[in-house]
Amino acid sequence: MIEHAWSLICTKCVTDPDSKNVTLVEVVEQLNGAPGTVFPVMAPFQTDFVSTWYRSDPTQGARATGRITVHNPDGTDREATQFAIDLTAFYRAHVVIRSAGIGLMATGVYFFVVDFRLDGQQAWQTVARIPFTVALVEGAAQLRGLEPRPAGA
Amino acid sequence: MSLYTALQEVESHDFAARLGVANNLEMLFALAEQEQSVKELLALLQNGDEANRLLSHVISLLREQEDVRYLNSRDVAVAVCIWALGRTQPALARLLASEVLSAPRVWWARRAAIESAGGGFIQPAVVASSSYSVVSTEGWGDRGSQTKDVLIVQEPGTELIRTGQVSSPNNFSTSTDSLRSLSELPGEMTDGSSESETLTKVV
């Protein structure tokens, strides 16, 4: 069997070549757009969706298919990204889904839903639902440190 | 020189032939840097609007049907565009790289895309490609790691890019600080609130 350990969204996942530990840079929970942003829009903002899977029985290998589906704030779903989780030769797997940009339909809360199904099974099992807020915020660029804040702010 | 004049030169067969002597990416880009059209391109791409136009243009190029028996004739040009965007507008370069990874019959462009999109991973090797590409590092040789790392580069929404609906990278931030929120603040939040709370407990 395969178990889901954790999933999150960050700006970059880096694997240390010596220790093989992953470093997650800036876990992202909210994306702030500047006021006046017209939707739909592609936000050219890199995110790494990192998901870790492991064998429930350390001595027993297993294979499964994972799936990440983004639920838009209006309740519609986007095309899912599927990936193989092959733990026949490894105890655990880090799956990083890197996206160079996010297509945004509107402001609101998007959900990244993580499902998986074992080989030979039909039914998907949901293991995580990660909220991701998109808001229009005045001074989004200043928050990012790209522009100085006005005096007194 | 306008963007399209520069691109006309970069996409020409002569340009591809001059850069064709390269035997690795570094050499290809070093040769490209000597070209007048590329110098002009780099200057033009400092402007975000021109960079967006280049992005839409190259995405359209990748969709063009050519003779499927041969390498894409704009292979070198696309590689140079990824590199040039990487020097001027890195966020847009990554968008283009994600698209190129699933494009057929490109060789230099694919390598440039892997370099741009595969950061943070060691010796990425593309193992699959359809609507997205898998760039994976696994096995870790004789070190016997118990962990397998898989990097999947997702194809972003081509339609939004092709129609130029790409926001400036500076328009977005990731702070959960609602200090400057224009909209109403939920619950009992004040102007100084953050939407996230972090609890640290020392045990």
| B56-69 tens-digit pLDDT | 999 988 888 777 78
Q: What is the CATH number of domain A2-135?
A: 2.60.40.3880
**pLDDT value at B87 more than 90:** yes
Cβ–Cβ below 8 Å for B146 and A46: no
Supply the pLDDT for residue B186. 57
**pLDDT value at B13 more than 50:** yes
Cβ–Cβ below 8 Å for A13 and B173: no
CB B149 within 8 A of CB A50: no
> Among residues 92-151 of chain A, which lie with CB inside 8 Å of chain B?
92-103, 133, 135-144, 146
On average, the pLDDT of chain B sits at 80
Parse chain A into domains and list their residue ranges: 2-135
Measured between CB atoms, which of A30, A44, A90 is closest to B92?
Answer: A44
- The alpha carbon of A7 is separated from its chain's Cα centroid by a whole number of angstroms, namely 7
> Among residues 14-73 of chain A, which lie with CB inside 8 Å of chain B?
14-15, 17, 20, 22, 26, 28-35, 37-38, 40-46, 48
**pLDDT value at A83 more than 50:** yes
State the number of CA atoms in the 13 A half-sphere of B52 facing the CB: 17
Peptide bond into A40 cis (omega under 30): yes
Retrieve residue B192's tokens.
């100084």
Minimal-distance CA residue of chain A relative to B165 = A41
pLDDT one-digit tens code per residue, A124-151: 999 999 999 999 887 655 544 444 445 5
pLDDT one-digit tens code per residue, B91-141: 999 999 988 988 888 999 999 998 888 665 544 444 433 445 555 544 433
Please tell me the distance in Å from A25's CA to the nearest CA on chain B. 11
Please tell me the distance in Å from B46's CA to the nearest CA on chain A. 16
Collapsing DSSP to helix, strand or coil, B63 comes out as: helix
